[in-house]
Amino acid sequence: MPSARIHEVIIKEINKDYDFDELLLRIGTIAPDSWRNIRLKHDIKNKYASHFLDFREKDNLAYNYVEFYLKYYKNLSNPFYFGYLVHLIVDKYWKKNIDKRFYKINKYGKAYKFRDGSYKKISSFFLYKDSLKMQSTLAYIYKLSDLPINREYYKHLECNIDELNLDGLFDEDGSLGYIKKDILPKNYESEIAIYDVDLIIKYINETVNFVKEELERLKQIKYDYDKKVKIAVNLNTLFDIEKLEEEFFKLFDSDNIKNINDKFCLFLLSKGMIDIIYLDYINSFDSDNYQVDLLFNNKVDESIYLKEGLVKYLNFNNIKYNYINTGFKSIEDLLENRDYNIYIDNKLDNIKLAKKLKVKTIYLEDKNLVSDLKK
């Protein structure tokens, strides 16, 4: 939880204040969980990317919807993007505040609270089946209409979310196929053992109120963000990360890739990846006045699962930054759409491109600048 139908119900309630295209909103708010239907190389799934995990947070609730909001702010009049944002907000709130109301942990493990007030240890299969019944009942109560599963039906769908692979959303094997097959609207309420539907509705309303408050808070965050000097630092060319990735994967085959993030961190440490000049320069910016984003690869599917290792490495070297952007189609697309004020790179072609787009640049191969930094 929160499951697909809960996400749909919440976005439908939120939409009473917006009047967006409801079908596009609903598939947008389902989309982040379609990572389940996509497998990457080394058999690793892509929730890290689709949910904007920030590995600087210690727990597993690090869904950074602020990062999504700032990155895709210009697209939020698109119902698909708006639904996606609401999904991330709901996930973090539900997992932090509501999930734990359904279980307790004792010396025997996790026990779930049944509707009759008792606590029992149950199998994951039993929990899953009960969740399906609860979701079907919610679909019945809130009159959730059918969602076509083929992309061709959604003529007005526009989606360029770098962190999302739409192949996991559509057709029989996608999230929409799962909803159509397993959680059609049915009045199952009397058969549900764990989930009290009236209580779930109460939690849905609680979450709706939180989302509305959070959407207002995000507007203030964006206002403060716009007053800062926004800096993009291209790690790919500064430190040749792509070459390092290739070298790293030569050391491990798919059967020996456990703890990949820690291994990648140790690998980067052993390579001494970052020159002290770059480290000092990036850290010289006052975080109160500057927004520093690090660019890491332009192939999300190939690099996102290495992000945690990179974050550990950057933390070890005490490198301050705001976000790591792991998805962009090109430097040109990134600079045109993110309103960066300063672009830092050591590849001359990228520097020339940024200047052409009227973005101020810092070329770290400039001998005078390197000399100044060494003083």
**Same-domain pairing of 215 and 110:** yes
Number of structural domains, the chain? Answer: 2
**Same-domain pairing of 169 and 300:** no
Burial (Cβ within 10 Å: 0-12, 13-18, ≥19) of residue 216: exposed
What is the pLDDT, as a whole number, of residue 61? Answer: 59
Among 56-65, 108-117, 249-258, the range scoring the smallest mean pLDDT is 249-258
Residue 169: domain span: 4-223
Give me the chain's average pLDDT, please. Answer: 87
pTM: 0.91
pLDDT at 310 over 90: no
What is the pLDDT, as a whole number, of residue 286? Answer: 79
**Same-domain pairing of 197 and 277:** no
**187: pLDDT confidence band, cut at 50, 70 and 90?**
very high
pLDDT at 261 over 50: yes
Report the candidate in 269, 283, 282, 271 with the shortest Cα–Cα distance to residue 316. Answer: 269
Among 94-98, 169-173, 200-204, 308-312, the range scoring the smallest mean pLDDT is 308-312
**Same-domain pairing of 108 and 257:** no
pLDDT at 125 over 60: yes
CA 309 from centre of chain: 17
**Same-domain pairing of 248 and 183:** no
What is the pLDDT, as a whole number, of residue 375? Answer: 46
Give yes or no for a contact between 115 and 195, defined as CB atoms under 8 angstroms apart: yes
Give yes or no for a contact between 234 and 350, defined as CB atoms under 8 angstroms apart: yes
**Same-domain pairing of 211 and 237:** no
Domain CATH code at residue 239: 3.40.50
For the stretch 243-254, pLDDT in tens is: 887 788 777 655
